[in-house]
A and B are shown apart, each in its own frame.
Chain A
Amino acid sequence: MLINIKSSNSILDFCLPYKKSFSDLVWPNSKIETWKMTPLNKFINNKNNYKVESYYKTNVDNKVNILKEIDANNIQFLKSNFFKNSKMTDIILSNISSSFEVFLPDNFSSNYDINFSSIVESDIWASSVIVIKTGKNVKANIKFDYSLTSNSLCTPLILFDIDDGSNLSFGLNVINKDNSLKDANFISLIEGNINKHSNIDMVVTQQGVNMSRSDINMNLKNDFSSYNLTGIYFGRDKHHQDITACVNHLAQNTSSNQIVRGILDDSSVGVYQGGIKVAPKAQKTDGKQMSRALLLSKLAESNSKPELEIFADDVTCAHGATIGELDKDQFFYLLSRGISYNEARDILIKAYLSEILSEVQNEFLYDQLDYAINFWLDEFYSKVAA
């Protein structure tokens, strides 16, 4: 079904102070953003002109009653989040075209995956605020697929509020609808609070659009909460792909694992930036973040900036970022077994991708990664090195 939940008065009131026409917006440059490697003003400026409009398709049955308009409680939650300091939040709130809440009550356990998809047509700016809120002991799978066309802009702001004992699997996937896109830009802001004994497993895949940035901030708010992210981006042409991922450990015995991988061809640019922050009282934190970018072309570029900020003493944290071409020793090993250069390249690229799959056990999320990988392999991957 197509959803078109009217923005509530609450959200309209809330957004009122931010209201601006597109031509008056100032897109953030590197200087004013926390994470500096994707200068949005280089990709979007007032020359673009969009009609503000968006819609989602979903498989959620109306009768189930889990889709709601955003109410005053949510506004309270919106106000308390720390996107309020972000220029990008201001921009999203300046022109909201859809807003809704997915509310999963106590003990909700869906026997189907909750899917949302949105196609952003040419000359459209789709800007939405989505709140995903659970009661206690909820178990659910939720997925958002975005598909962009030329000269479109998509800026979802997605907020999670996960109550105790809940388990959420969440996927966000960005692809191109046409084969050769011009000026398709995707910028998401994702933030959430995860409470006691709750967990979010998340997958983010990005490909095919000219610029794509997912900026994810998760707060492990209460003891024994956990969060895992597997992100993958594919770059080609002059595309710019950014996954920015931060986690805040705010309570004891919390754990996080953020894995981001990129594969960059042609003159594309990949960005991974992010961090693990551990608050003074967040003892027994276990935090990991790893990023890897594979460069398939001499002109491709990858920038990464993983950061640790630890104020507790009893913590285990690991982080690292590697950038590289296909491994020479692996190449030689394959060649020495009689495998030709191009076949060896093919094997190693697919190995790199299947390695990331092997780290995801959750079937719902695995399928999304698998789809994204195969989409890339089918559409853009050239078996022969340039």
Chain B
Amino acid sequence: MNLLNIDNLHASIGDEKILNGFSLKINSGETHAIMGPNGSGKSTLSYVLSGKDDYNVTQGNILLKNENIIELSADERSKLGLFLAFQYPIELPGVTGMTFLRTIINSSRVAKGLPELEGIELVKIIREKATELNISQDMLKRFVNVGFSGGEKKRFEILQMSLLDPSIAVLDETDSGLDVDALRTVGSGVTNLKNKDKGMLVITHYQRLLDHIVPDFVHIMVKGKILESGGPDLAKIVEKEGYKRFIDAN
């Protein structure tokens, strides 16, 4: 089944055109990776997909499970099963991790037509998943992302993802700021969530994350659109030769 269909997407912020005809289809069970130099519009793509309203979509469509979501707000998109792991997770001073996670779990359950869970049950689920991702109880008592290290922030993103259990997840540079061990934890955390019903879009700068989350397709993105698509080998070429070759060829 087609989960996400991005068709000829053009988006700008202010006068600046950032996405210039970006197209990509993701079917259930597939993992796609997008690689591209800094500033090529990868994060912008992730924001436009999740409905951040700073951007102007001037052309194109985004279909999520065959529903056009261009006009939907960010929360509605999330409720339809889209998740974004932020490149730069936002600090929420005054909101403790535990409270935050309980809130998002229950609002996603309500959206799915499931009953809300009670405190004890919620805490149990959260603790279990947190432990898998090496997130301490202590971290959950702290304010969301406030004073978290780079790696803690990224692990907390993946924890949210695993609790919300989205149909399609966009991971924006989830590998940056991670040391080798954390990379392995996050990699296996994400891999555990992969299944035949879900799709994944992994945005990265480096090949190394793709050793842990093996993609079915790799796309090279430059200046707001895909220049070339291929299999996992493409990532190896980038690793060796950088992006110059793709830019020159176009």
Contacts and interface: CB of A to CB of B under 8 A. Distances in A.
Partners in one complex: yes
A346 to B, nearest CB: 10
A347 B103 contact: yes
Nearest to B74: A335
A306 B194 CA distance: 54
Main secondary structure, interface of B, reads mixed
Interface stretch (A64-72, A93-101, A133-141, A350-358): A350-358
Contacts of A41: none
Given A329-B90, A332-B74, A355-B94, A337 B160 contact: yes
A338 B78 contact: yes
A338 B89 contact: no
Given A338-B108, A338-B164, A339-B107, A333 B89 contact: yes
A322 interface: no
B93 A355 contact: yes
Interface in A319-356: 328-330, 332-341, 343-344, 347-348, 350-355
Q: Interface on chain A toward B: helix, strand, loop, or mixed SS?
A: helix
Interface string B68-99: 00000111011100011010011111110000
A333 B90 contact: yes
Most chain-A Cβ atoms within 10 A of its Cβ — which of B50, B86, B95?
Answer: B95
B107 A336 contact: no
Number of contact residues on B: which range applies? 20 to 34
A348 B100 CA distance: 11
Interface in B17-65: 50-54
Nearest to A356: B94
Given A333-B86, A338-B164, A353 B94 contact: yes
B107 A338 contact: yes
B241 to A, nearest CB: 35
Contact of B92 (A333, A335, A341, A358): A333
Contact of B73 (A329, A333, A335): A335
A337 B86 CA distance: 11
Contacts of A348: 92
Contacts of B53: 332
B95 A335 contact: no
A351 B94 contact: yes
Contacts of A328: 54
Interface residues of A, number: 24
B111 interface: yes
A351 B176 CA distance: 28
B104 interface: yes
A341 B77 CA distance: 13
Given A341-B73, A341-B75, A347-B103, A336 B94 contact: no
Contact of A338 (B52, B75, B91, B95): B75
A366 to B, nearest CB: 15
B103 A352 contact: no
A336 B108 contact: no
B104 A347 contact: no
Contacts of A329: 90
A337 B90 contact: no
A339 B108 CA distance: 8
Contacts of B74: 332, 335-336
B95 A347 contact: yes
Contacts of A330: 90-92
B138 to A, nearest CB: 15
A348 B95 CA distance: 8
A286 to B, nearest CB: 22
A352 B94 CA distance: 6
10 contacts: A330-B90, A332-B90, A336-B83, A337-B164, A338-B111, A339-B75, A344-B75, A351-B93, A351-B94, A358-B143
Given A332-B74, A344-B75, A358-B94, 14 more contacts: A330-B92, A333-B90, A334-B92, A335-B78, A336-B50, A336-B51, A337-B104, A338-B104, A347-B95, A348-B92, A351-B93, A352-B94, A353-B94, A354-B95
